[in-house]
Amino acid sequence: MYKIRQLLLWLLIVSSPQVFGQAKKISVSSSRNQVESGQSGTLQSGPMVGYSAMREVMLWVQTKKPARVQIRYHEVGKPTPVHLTNEIKTNRQTVFTAHLLADLVEPGKKYEYDVLIEGQKVSLPYPTQFQTQSLWQWRTDPPPFRFAVGSCTYVNEPDVDRPGKPYGGGYEIFTALAAQKPDFMIWTGDNTYTREVDWNTRTGVLRRYTHTRSLPEMQPLLASTHNYATWDDHDYGPNDADRSYWLKPVTLEAFKLFWTNPNYVFPEGCAGTFFWNDCHFFLLDDRTFRAPNDMTDGPEKAYFGDKQIQWLIDALTFSKATFKFIVTGGQIINPTKAFENYAMYGTERDRLLKAITDAKIPGVLFITGDRHHSILHKLERSGGSSTYPIYDLTISPLTSSVAQPLADELKQPTYVAGTVVTERNFGLLSVSGPQTDRVLTIKVYDQKGAERWSRDLRANELK
């Protein structure tokens, strides 16, 4: 059986055009995707459901060669009318990716969709659905919703990985995640890992993004869960990369090709924002403006940088959202000066936290990743009963190797006892309840889908 499978893989390799038009070896993961999807080698990865709004939804597909791609969709339970997105002819310059806009939709509806390649339906062995956000304002309480959180996705490629024990694994976590049926997922950084063969060329970067996105176990999750992302060092550049990284325009281009965030607030970097019901999400960029980690701390040592911090404080002040989730790659609240924690940039960290306090902004929480373990930190702020504690939920890793927290980190006053998870895991956050008493429920699950811990936070506690 093994020899037959190897022969099938070899036939796919020699008969299928490659992503970059060269005779390169296809990984076993990518080839298995072709076999399981039942296609003739045209579909490389996806479909992926991107951002959702009331009047439009963005979808994404990647092919293996130039092809006409389109999405056909209709409301669940109503076979007619049937709508079509714009048609795109994929091309090598944009690594055969297509962003397809579903703009004939109504608020608060669910839709089924098909991928059409060269006018023919692609048969997929899992559901393909998306939803629009509800028009609840001035009408009802905000609807309940659930979203997943995860970071650090390493997909092995033995030919170019470092020797020794494989760094990635546990890909079944995406099956466990999809089984939870979250409304959307936030990828909080290190969503792919560029290697030495990747980060010096556009070809390498695009090939790495393609390799990760083609993981078979990931496809069902992408196809029916809306996806939003920010980056950290490994999908931005080399390990611990900062503003000096020489190829950052290329990795930004790759990020925008492979993700479908609804907006980017600066020409440089991936910072942006989105809403889901009564909650506001701020996707911060902790790399583009970042000074070197080893630089002496002081006013000149930037992490987010002046421009991004000013935008964030303005946007937080403007927002009337119940919960305001600030999403970024590295830990913010943990005061331990180690690795790439924000505490290594203490001057800017103090300035940001003071600005949030001075502006009296309610409902702020941080969601972070990077550390290859999960943990909850809680910062008690001075200022009396009117100053609520700020939480930082770190969720990591999805498929990368696990790392233990330092002993000193578990002695910090910010550490919430019982929240350390030192295995591959993901977070599932739920927002529910009437508008006057919204509740955020945080649950953390291991790669098999078993719950590890749970906490409730009431919006009224964050005012």
Every domain of the chain and the residues it spans: 16-131, 145-461
CA distance 78 to 136: 23
- What confidence score (pLDDT) does residue 382 get? 85
CA distance 132 to 51: 9
- Residue 374 φ/ψ, nearest 5 degrees: -110, 150
Question: For every one of its 463 residues, what pLDDT tens digit does the chain have, with 9 covering 90 and above?
Answer: 433 333 333 333 323 333 343 323 334 343 333 333 334 479 999 999 999 999 999 999 999 999 999 999 999 999 999 999 999 999 999 999 999 999 999 999 999 999 999 999 999 999 999 999 999 999 999 999 999 999 999 999 999 999 999 999 999 999 999 999 999 999 999 999 999 999 999 999 999 999 999 999 999 999 999 999 999 999 999 999 999 999 999 999 999 999 999 999 999 999 999 999 999 999 999 999 999 999 999 999 999 999 999 999 999 999 999 999 999 999 999 999 999 999 999 999 999 999 999 999 999 999 999 999 999 999 999 876 669 999 999 999 999 999 999 999 999 999 999 999 999 999 999 999 999 999 999 999 999 999 999 999 999 999 9
Residues facing 428 on adjacent strands = 148, 443
- What confidence score (pLDDT) does residue 386 get? 67
Strand order from edge to edge, sheet including 425-432: 97-102, 57-63, 43-52, 226-229, 184-187, 145-150, 425-432, 439-446, 451-458
What dotted CATH number matches 145-461? 3.60.21.70
Name the CATH topology of 16-131. Immunoglobulin-like (2.60.40)
Residues facing 451 on adjacent strands = 445
How many C-beta neighbours within 10 Å does residue 25 have? 12
Two domains, one topology: 16-131 and 145-461: no
CA distance 401 to 280: 31
* Residues 6+ positions from 87 with CB-CB distance below 8 Å: 68, 69, 70
For 145, 161, 262, the CA distances from 282, given in Å and listed in that order, are 18, 33, 12
**Looking at the whole model, is its pTM more than 0.85?**
yes
Look at residues 433, 432, 303 and name the one whose alpha carbon lies nearest to residue 368: 303
Residue tagged 């953390």 (tokens): 444
Please, is 338 exposed, middle or buried when counting C-beta atoms within 10 Å of its C-beta (0-12, 13-18, 19+)? Answer: middle
CA distance 60 to 43: 12
